Amino acid sequence: MQTFYINGLLCLGIIVILVFYKVVAKRPNSRLPNIPLAFLIAFFILRLVVPVFDHFGLQGAANSLGVAASILVWMAAVRIIVYFIVDYILRQKSKVTIPSITRDFGLAVIYIIIAMIVLKQKTSVNLGSLLTTSAILTAVIGFAMQDTLGNLFSGLALQLEHPYQIGDWIGFENRVGKVVGITWKSTKILTRSEEMIYVPNNTISKSILINYSRPTPIHQVAIEFGTSYDDPPHKVREAVTKVILNNPRVAADPPPSVRVVKYNNFSVDYKAIFATEDIAGEEGIKTEILNDLWYKFRRTGIKIPYPFQEEMGVERKDLLDEENEERKKEEALIVEMLGKIDMFASLSPDARAGLASRIAVLQFAAGEKIVEQGDEPGPMFIVKEGECAVIVTHEGGMQTEVARFHSMQFFGEMSVLTGAPRTATVRAVRPTICYEIEKQDLELLFKNNAEALNRVSEVLAVRQMALMQQKAQMDERAKLQAEQQGQILSKIKAFLGL
């Protein structure tokens, strides 16, 4: 009877702990306490059945059930303690990643020890013979379940060696994915295409494994491309480096490198190597960079070669004639557009035609920066087609989009005419074609045309006043927003006692 009371008080204490766990963890619908609760229910059932067996003189069965009840109540206690330490304190509060296989194996060992201790104290069972019988039984089961046990022990070995943990990106046998779970049988890996792969632990332990997340999440990525023999390597390296660093998902440290790897039949082949922490988006980053390289090469005159044969120079001549014809059509469009823009509307047709012959046509990919705030003085641009966003960076790093440019709108005029640094960043919102006008182009235009220069200065003065007023309003708004944010932050800290 005394043992019954002791076990009853122990169960009552465990139930209190269980309720406390649910309240503290704030997970009333959690399935975590189900197993210890089942142990407790089984314990109470056995304690109710024991007196019945005693009443009918089945003392041996009653003793066995009492031993089982003791084992169950201790197992329930251990299970709850493990939940508090592993699931609540380590996983939820400290955010420590602990695979389920490690926790479950530890619980299994503790359960076996509890069973042996209770059996030794409450029965006359010979543990030596029990262990011998268990060893024989284990050998039979092990032979029948060698693949399953192989996966189990491989999983344990992986946990001891710790080559990866949940959340790491790994590669093996031409597969790359993120580890999302480690069980007794397999490791669950989520691929870049959102496919779940269940890899037997026995298989993965025998494979050559690459951990992309360790020792640091910085991962090296390589892309290959070729350019014409007419393009000097230093020019190619400069263009490619700018494109790579323009991608927001590329790490600045270590800096990218561009190397010549081979002199091919029709091209000089390069390999560009850069670093990123976004392992999941590696293929997307490579696609973005190769896409932006096409636009950059077109703007800088770097050619992407392809095999061709010339027959008495006919094909080459036809190609040049076609290019000249396309250029003439483009110049006619430029002349027409210049006549519709207030800055150049006062120019004579001949002056506009002369300027059009010197204007370069540049293509930009969506997301590319055309100019960047703070850059040195450079050319001005007229949007032929597409869309550009004007972004101003304020003190403190906050960025504001202040305008958008569309067809026949221009920007960068103050930089090219007065030598002022760039006051805003202009980024292509979608694929955009711009006309580029350099300083020397305008020098030739205004050298003997004072009237045109006066008209241009008048237009720019009006435009500059409007921009200055708009910038002042945006700066004031950004300042007020920063002050408001600081006040709210102070109130939050004061209220939470931080």
Q: Which helix (H) or strand (E) holds 408?
A: none
The pLDDT assigned to 28 comes to: 44
Among 207, 211, 147, smallest CA distance to 179 is for 211
The pLDDT assigned to 384 comes to: 92
Cβ(272)–Cβ(256) under 8 Å?
A: yes
* pLDDT tens, residue by residue, 301-326: 899 887 655 444 555 566 667 777 88
Domain at 330-478, CATH homologous superfamily: Jelly Rolls (2.60.120.10)
The pLDDT assigned to 22 comes to: 54
Q: Check whether 416 has a pLDDT greater than 90.
A: no
The pLDDT assigned to 84 comes to: 72
Residues 219-300, CATH architecture: 2-Layer Sandwich (3.30)
The pLDDT assigned to 388 comes to: 94
- pLDDT (average), residues 254-282: 91
Question: Do 219-300 and 330-478 show the same overall fold?
Answer: no
* Integer Cα distance of 338 and 459 in angstroms: 14
Among 96, 71, 69, smallest CA distance to 85 is for 96
* Integer Cα distance of 275 and 255 in angstroms: 8
> Is 0.75 topped by the overall pTM?
no
Q: Check whether 31 has a pLDDT greater than 50.
A: no
- pLDDT (average), residues 342-363: 86
Q: Check whether 202 has a pLDDT greater than 80.
A: no
The pLDDT assigned to 441 comes to: 86
Is omega for the bond preceding 215 within 30 degrees of 0, making it cis? yes
The pLDDT assigned to 257 comes to: 94
Q: Which helix (H) or strand (E) holds 46?
A: helix 34-55
Cβ(187)–Cβ(199) under 8 Å?
A: yes
Instruction: Report the length, in residues, of the chain.
Output: 498
Q: Check whether 141 has a pLDDT greater than 60.
A: no
* pLDDT tens, residue by residue, 11-30: 566 566 656 555 554 444 44
The pLDDT assigned to 20 comes to: 59
The pLDDT assigned to 71 comes to: 73
Average pLDDT of the chain is: 77
Top-ranked range on mean pLDDT: pick from 14-23, 241-250, 339-348: 241-250
Write down the domain spans for the chain: 2-125, 219-300, 330-478
The pLDDT assigned to 250 comes to: 92
The pLDDT assigned to 164 comes to: 80
Q: Check whether 492 has a pLDDT greater than 80.
A: no
